[in-house]
């Protein structure tokens, strides 16, 4: 709880500071102030461990600026994820382990610096395409370099330093691209958007999630799942069902933390864009002409903060399937994983597995992260199979019943896999799963086998019916 209290105090302070931060209209002043406060946040929670972040910044910045832009993104990826692994292994090497909040700062810094290297590589590739197109006079339509692309190609060490340590998102995210950061510095949207209103809307629901977290964690504490009484005196059914409240606690804690981190962005005006820009979480505007349109349009514009929207609580809770719920969870990080791992990985066959493995590595070195995150690809085919077999063509009351069953299955899968994420170590995870006879895994194997048999039976019946129809047509 001590770490949680420190976390809440820091986020609360950063949210409050946003009202003052927005008053700086000069971009250079805003950069200096934002970076200064960010460094204070890092120093306050990390102490001398702050040297890790400074070292990572220095090496990554040198790679981004001076390495070949054809491979700078790969070099930066290898260095940052390698250093992240080393950073988390310090205790095994006999050194003091960094504080928990320092680990979160290092995680976000990893996404930022590697993401920036990919942005630079994309801008370089685009510039080469433009240059080649200008030589080819027969080409009708050519892509053009945006102002953001030019800025990426002219990055300085100071630009990267400001981006890395600006107080908005330095502690827990959400991940924002360099383009989003630069827009927040140079575009006037933060002064026009309703930053206070957007922040208050998010803050309204946080007491509910925080209250539920405290209440349920008091009744069903996670620590109880590691006690002797839990395994010796509680029934199999009680132990199996205990994953539900533990994952509920985890969700409420994550909802509270992520929404507070979003409030830091909204109060500072970072991620504010006109609605007509069609912004998406992590990515930012999906239209390139939003600045021109916003300038030319004399009527009042509506603004949103979709760029920094990291979680959709309502849709996460109420959607029917596991696959759909994944889309609404930690959306800015998912954007990073999709853009820089999934779409870039050369083998389509292994893209999903590699992306989830990178996600697990990013989360930490504990086995529980791999049990949980890498378990998802084994559950998703089962869900997809049953959705195709029963849910896809169902209507009316039957559809409603099947949706509810799918919802229950979704949260059981999340909860069953999530207990590994919370127990962390192999011995605790294996002891728990053994105590419930690996019920979840056995159930999923049986369901998958049954689903495959049903699918084969339906195909066989369809072939027989088609053959019977052909025979009947011949007789006629």
Active-site amino acid positions? 330, 363
Q: Please tell me whether the peptide bond between 22 and the residue prior to it is cis, using omega within 30 degrees of 0.
A: no
What spatial distance separates the first Cα and last Cα of the chain, rounded to whole Å?
A: 80
How many CB atoms are closer than 10 A to CB 466? 10
Name the β-bridge partners of 73: none
Query: Which one, of 167, 160, 157, 155, lies nearest residue 35 by Cα?
Result: 167
The residue among 83, 84, 183, 115 whose CA lies nearest residue 336 is 115
Per the CB < 8 A criterion, the answer to whether 265 and 440 are in contact is no
CA 402 – CA 396 distance, rounded (Å): 10
Which pairing describes strands 303-304 and 273-274: parallel, antiparallel, or unpaired? antiparallel
Instruction: Supply the Cα-derived Rg of the chain in whole angstroms.
Output: 25
Cα torsion through 404, 406, 408, 410, rounded to 10: -140
The dihedrals phi and psi of 289, each to the nearest 5 degrees, come to -100, 15
**Residue 79 CB partners (closer than 8 Å, separation 6+):** 56, 59, 60, 63
């Amino acid at each position: 709880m001590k770490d949680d209290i420190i976390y809440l105090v820091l986020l609360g302070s950063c949210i409050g500071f946003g009202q003052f931060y927005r008053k700086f209209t000069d971009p250079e002043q805003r950069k200096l102030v934002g970076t200064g406060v960010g460094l204070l946040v890092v120093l306050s929670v990390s102490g001398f461990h702050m040297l890790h972040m400074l070292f990572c910044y220095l090496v990554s910045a040198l790679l981004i600026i001076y390495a070949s832009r054809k491979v700078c993104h790969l070099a930066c990826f290898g260095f940052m994820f390698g250093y992240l692994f080393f950073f988390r292994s310090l205790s095994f090497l006999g050194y003091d382990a960094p504080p928990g909040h320092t680990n979160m700062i290092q995680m976000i810094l990893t996404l930022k610096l590697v993401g920036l290297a990919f942005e630079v590589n994309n801008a370089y590739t685009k510039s080469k395409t433009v240059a080649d197109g200008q030589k080819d006079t027969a080409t009708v339509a050519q892509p053009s370099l945006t102002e953001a692309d030019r800025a990426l190609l002219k990055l300085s060490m100071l630009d990267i330093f400001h981006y890395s340590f600006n107080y908005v998102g330095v502690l827990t995210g959400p991940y924002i691209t360099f383009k989003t950061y630069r827009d927040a510095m140079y575009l006037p949207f933060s002064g026009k958007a309703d930053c206070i209103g957007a922040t208050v809307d998010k803050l309204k629901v946080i007491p509910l999630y925080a209250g539920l977290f405290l209440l349920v964690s008091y009744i069903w504490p996670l620590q109880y799942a590691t006690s002797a009484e839990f395994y010796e005196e509680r029934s199999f059914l009680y132990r199996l069902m205990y994953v539900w409240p533990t994952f509920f606690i985890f969700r409420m804690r994550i909802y509270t933390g992520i929404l507070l981190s979003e409030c830091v962005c909204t109060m500072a005006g970072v991620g504010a864009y006109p609605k007509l820009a069609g912004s998406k979480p992590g990515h930012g505007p999906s239209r390139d002409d939003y600045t021109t349109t916003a300038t030319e349009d004399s009527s009042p514009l509506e603004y949103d903060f979709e760029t920094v929207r990291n979680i959709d609580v309502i849709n996460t809770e109420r959607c029917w399937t596991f696959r759909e719920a994944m889309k609404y969870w930690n959306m800015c990080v998912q954007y990073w994983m999709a853009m820089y791992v999934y779409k870039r990985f050369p083998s389509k066959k292994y893209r999903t597995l590699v992306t989830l493995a990178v996600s697990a590595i990013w989360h930490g070195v504990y086995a529980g992260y791999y049990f949980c995150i890498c378990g998802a690809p084994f559950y998703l085919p089962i869900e997809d199979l049953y959705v195709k077999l029963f849910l896809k063509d169902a209507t009316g009351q039957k559809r409603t019943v099947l949706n509810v069953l799918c919802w229950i299955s979704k949260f059981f899968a999340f909860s069953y896999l999530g207990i590994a994420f919370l127990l962390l170590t192999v011995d605790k995870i294996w002891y728990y799963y053994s105590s419930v006879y690996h019920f979840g895994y056995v159930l999923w194997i049986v369901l998958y086998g049954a689903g495959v048999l049903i699918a084969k039976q339906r195909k066989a019946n369809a072939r027989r019916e088609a053959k019977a129809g052909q025979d009947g047509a011949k007789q006629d």
